[in-house]
Structure 1
Amino acid sequence: MSDIKLGDLNIVVLHKKIKNIHLNVHPPQGNVTISAPAHIDLDTIRIFAISKLRWIKKQQHKFQNQKREPKREYITKESHYFKGKRYLLKVIERNKKPQVILKHSEIQLCVRPQATTDKKKKILDEWYRIQLKQLIPQLLKKWEKRIGVKASEFRIRKMRTKWGTCNTKAKRIWLNLELAKKPIECLEYIIVHELVHLLEGSHNKRFIKFMDKFMPKWRFYKEKLNYLPLGL
Structure 2
Amino acid sequence: MKNPESQQLIVAGVGIELLRKRVRNVNFRIYPPDGRVRVSAPLRMGEREIRRAVEAKLDWILRQRTRIAEQPRPPAMRLESGELHLVDGRRCRLEVVDLPGVSRAELLPGDVLRLQVPPETDAAGRLRVLEGWYRQRFTDRLPQLLARWEAVVGRRARDCRVRRMRTLWGSCSTGTGRIRLNLELARRSVRCQEYVLVHELTHLHERGHTRRFYALMDRFLPDWRERKRELEQHPLWRYHDESGVSAL
- The TM-score, its normalising length taken from structure 2, stands at 0.86
Q: Secondary structure at the match of 1:200?
A: coil
Q: Compared with structure 1, are the counterparts of its residues 126 and 34 closer, same or farther at alpha carbon in structure 2 (3 Å cutoff)?
A: same
Give the equivalent residue in structure 2 for 1:124: 130
- Return the match for 1:73 from 71, 78, 99: 78
Q: Compared with structure 1, are the counterparts of its residues 221 and 31 closer, same or farther at alpha carbon in structure 2 (3 Å cutoff)?
A: farther
Give the alignment of 1:18-37 within 5 angstroms.
18=24, 20-37=25-42
- Return the match for 2:148 from 142, 156, 171: 142
Supply the AA of the counterpart residue of 1:107: L
Give the equivalent residue in structure 1 for 2:246: none
1:53 aligns with 2:58: yes
Equivalent pair of 2:171/2:179 in contact (CA under 8 Å): yes
Q: Which has the higher contact order (CA 8 A, sep 6+)?
A: 1
Gaps of 5+ in 1: none
Q: What is the rounded CA distance, in whole Å, between the counterparts of 2:32 and 2:190 in structure 1? A: 20
| Displacement of 1:81 | 0.9
Q: What is the rounded CA distance, in whole Å, between the counterparts of 1:147 and 1:17 in structure 2? A: 26
Give the alignment of 1:211-230 within 5 angstroms.
211-230=217-236
Q: Secondary structure at the match of 2:140?
A: helix
Equivalent pair of 1:28/1:161 in contact (CA under 8 Å): no
Q: Secondary structure at the match of 1:227?
A: coil
| Displacement of 1:23 | 3.0
Give the equivalent residue in structure 1 for 2:205: 199
Supply the AA of the counterpart residue of 1:34: V
Q: What is the rounded CA distance, in whole Å, between the counterparts of 1:112 and 1:53 in structure 2? A: 52
Gaps of 5+ in 2: 239-248
1:100 aligns with 2:105: yes
Q: What is the rounded CA distance, in whole Å, between the counterparts of 1:31 and 1:125 in structure 2? A: 27
- The TM-score, its normalising length taken from structure 1, stands at 0.91
What is the CA deviation profile of residues 45-88 of structure 1, one whole-angstrom value per residue up to 9, with x for unaligned ones?
21121122121111111112212322111111111110110011
Supply the AA of the counterpart residue of 1:214: F
Give the equivalent residue in structure 2 for 1:173: 179
Equivalent pair of 1:166/1:173 in contact (CA under 8 Å): yes
Query: How many residues are treated as equivalent by the alignment?
Result: 231
What is the CA deviation profile of residues 109-156 of structure 1, one whole-angstrom value per residue up to 9, with x for unaligned ones?
011111110000000000000110111211111111111111111111
Q: Compared with structure 1, are the counterparts of its residues 146 and 23 closer, same or farther at alpha carbon in structure 2 (3 Å cutoff)?
A: same
Supply the AA of the counterpart residue of 2:208: S
Q: Compared with structure 1, are the counterparts of its residues 92 and 146 closer, same or farther at alpha carbon in structure 2 (3 Å cutoff)?
A: same
Give the equivalent residue in structure 1 for 2:119: 113
Q: Compared with structure 1, are the counterparts of its residues 13 and 210 closer, same or farther at alpha carbon in structure 2 (3 Å cutoff)?
A: farther
1:43 aligns with 2:45: no
Equivalent pair of 2:30/2:61 in contact (CA under 8 Å): yes
Q: What is the rounded CA distance, in whole Å, between the counterparts of 1:135 and 1:115 in structure 2? A: 29
- Return the match for 1:12 from 14, 18, 24: 18
Equivalent pair of 1:16/1:37 in contact (CA under 8 Å): yes
Give the equivalent residue in structure 2 for 1:62: 67
Using the TM superposition, name which of 105-114 and 219-228 deviates more: 219-228
RMSD (Å) for aligned C-alpha atoms: 1.8
